[in-house]
Amino acid sequence: MPGMDVYGLYVSDLISGTFNPSTLGEINRSWASGYYWPDGESAALSSADLQYILASDPFGSSSYQLPSPLPNTTPDGRFTIAGGAGGAASSFPYEQANNGNGAGITDLYSTATVNTSAQGASTNTNYKQSFALEEDIYLNLAVTLKSVFKETYTLSWGSTWQSTLTTSTTQTNNLSITGPNCPATSGACSPLYGGPAEFVLYQDNQYGTFMFAPTN
């Protein structure tokens, strides 16, 4: 059985509903038209299907905004800053290449995420034992007097066992980032990049993908 076919879609295309011919062919899934489909269903992805796909990306909604300053984890818990391997910084520069570089500058990065969980177990047993002492004292005087003293004691002791198992899982990801190129051999680059010069790297806690948030 063939593996799953994964095809990426742009959020902008999902919002506008306009796709290039090759992407539209993937959406129509003509290769599956020969299969049996229930009434009202077909091989092609419906507009409702496309909206479900769009909803999986929070940035598909214009109301989704990151707070300023950028937090370590977004308020909804979806994105967390990805720490670099070996304590490397989670932000990176994004600059245009010098003249004559038509490919742009590519930087390689490695991120490491460590998840730690602790599971504990313990037992506790307590014991108590009570006992009493009684003393009789007689005095021989003109009359016989008898005094009785009673004392009660309780001994308590216990035994406790406790063990904690800590498990750590490290996930390492490698990514490459290529900045804007500059094919012009002299003068100003065309087009000239005027966007942010630095981004912060976030990781999607749900899907494990990356998100780049401009910081400067």
Quote the mean pLDDT of the chain. Answer: 81
The stretch 81-90 carries a mean pLDDT of 58
What residues form DSSP beta bridges with 165? Answer: 119
Higher pLDDT, 55 or 133: 55
The stretch 162-176 carries a mean pLDDT of 77
pLDDT tens digits along 34-49: 887 788 788 888 898 9
Backbone angles phi, psi at 157, to 5 degrees: -150, 160
The stretch 19-26 carries a mean pLDDT of 92
Backbone angles phi, psi at 10, to 5 degrees: -80, 140
CA distance 37 to 14: 24
Residue 34's pLDDT is what? 81
Backbone angles phi, psi at 58, to 5 degrees: -55, -30
CA distance 20 to 205: 31
Residue 11's pLDDT is what? 92
What residues form DSSP beta bridges with 102? Answer: none
Residue 86's pLDDT is what? 44
Amino acid identity, position 115: N
Helix, coil or strand: residue 34: coil
Q: What is the DSSP string of 64-121?
A: ----SSPPSB-TTS-EEEPPBGGG--SEEE--PPPTTBSS--EEEEEEEEEEEEEEEE
Q: If you average pLDDT over each of 108-112, 160-164, 181-185, which comes out highest?
A: 181-185
- In this model, does residue 110 exceed pLDDT 80? no
Residue count (the chain): 216
Cα dihedral sign, 56-61-18-40:
positive
Residue 39's pLDDT is what? 80
pLDDT tens digits along 170-216: 777 787 889 999 999 999 998 899 999 999 988 888 888 888 899 87
Q: What share of the chain in percent tops pLDDT 90?
A: 26
59 DSSP 8-state letter: G
Higher pLDDT, 19 or 154: 19
Residue 121's pLDDT is what? 67
Q: Is the peptide bond before 21 cis (omega within 30 degrees of 0)?
A: no
pLDDT tens digits along 114-126: 667 777 766 666 7
Residue 32's pLDDT is what? 81
Residue 107's pLDDT is what? 84
CB 19 within 8 A of CB 27: yes
Residue 14's pLDDT is what? 93
3-state helix, strand, coil in the chain (%, to 5): 15, 45, 45
Residue 96's pLDDT is what? 93
